[in-house]
Amino acid sequence: MKIIRTALFLSLLINSLVSLAQSPAEKLKTIFQDKNRQILVAAHRGDWRNSPENSLQALYNSISKGFDIMELDVKMSKDSQMVVMHDNTIDRTTNAKGKVGDYTLAELKKFRLRNGLGRVTENQIPTMREMMLAAKGKILINVDKGNDHLDLVFKVLRETSTTDQAIVNVGDDMPYEELKAKNTIPQDAYLMVVVNVKNKDMQSIINGYAANKKAIVQPIFDTDTLTNLKVVKAMNGKPLIWLNSLWPSLNGGHDDDRAVEKNEKEESWGWLINYHPVILQTDRPTDLLIYLRSRGLHK
């Protein structure tokens, strides 16, 4: 009887914790409202060190490991289907060769993805629709490289009812007014623009997106001595800031390898945190989670 009571208690406790956990949509909404924000961790191409990049397995791993966001890349197939692939060709990541756009979806599904070591796996190339349905209610998604087909990207989000848990990249140095002139942007869409800190029009681009209450700015910079970095710090999260720790040319040398390989976490992730990001994108999501939690910056 005691064992039964204990099991029942644990079951109720787990169900209670699950019910209290924020949904991805709530988590995204919260960062636009909460002044005492936690920093969200975005896994670049998913958990690619332990599964093929941009795969369903990379998504499942990202969910199970507690990452907040999975970044994925989209391309269009010959028959106008949005598939998840970083490169314009499938040479590097699959057991076949050629341009993504030269194959139909049915043809692409015959190929198999390679893992991080280059070995062929049983994983297929997923569609964006498959990824969004698998992510629904479980993890936020950042959709990258779809800026030439934003109509199709938003269509998939709408049809899978996942617009509220996706951040859509709209291109590099793209003025907001130009974006709206070229595309029909849903009012409920979360947008992100990449801005090179060296761009002389950086301030005006940022100001344009500041008017959108669901926009995020991603500054990139290859050196940490640029005068314009003062502009980034002065933003103080208005609009919200996403920073990359992926490789040195995106963060002035304050990158993942410096944090992990050189064990200089304060000079890399710590340095970036001083610029008030609400999201950090990384190729070392597990290590970054541990670091942020040690500083009380992630639950």
Predicted confidence (pLDDT) per residue in 158-205, tens digit: 999 999 999 999 999 999 999 999 999 999 999 999 999 999 999 999
What pLDDT band is residue 18 in, cutting at 50, 70 and 90? very low
What pLDDT band is residue 2 in, cutting at 50, 70 and 90? low
Using alpha carbons, select from 153, 92, 163, 162 the residue that is nearest to residue 127. Answer: 153
Strand partners for 26: none
Residue 199 buriedness (CB in 10 A; 0-12 / 13-18 / 19+): middle
Q: Which amino acid is at 69?
A: I
Predicted confidence (pLDDT) per residue in 128-149, tens digit: 999 999 999 999 999 999 999 9
Supply angle C-alpha 261, 266, 268, rounded to 5. 60
Residue 226 has a pLDDT of 80
What the chain holds in terms of domains, given with CATH numbers, is: 34-87+128-294 (3.20.20.190)
DSSP state of 236: T
Supply angle C-alpha 162, 166, 172, rounded to 5. 145
Give phi and psi for 234, each to the nearest 5.
Answer: -70, -20
Supply angle C-alpha 289, 265, 227, rounded to 5. 110
Residue 62 has a pLDDT of 98
Concatenated DSSP letters of 71-117:
EEEEEE-TTS-EEE-SSSBSTTTBSS-SBGGGS-HHHHTTS-BB-TT
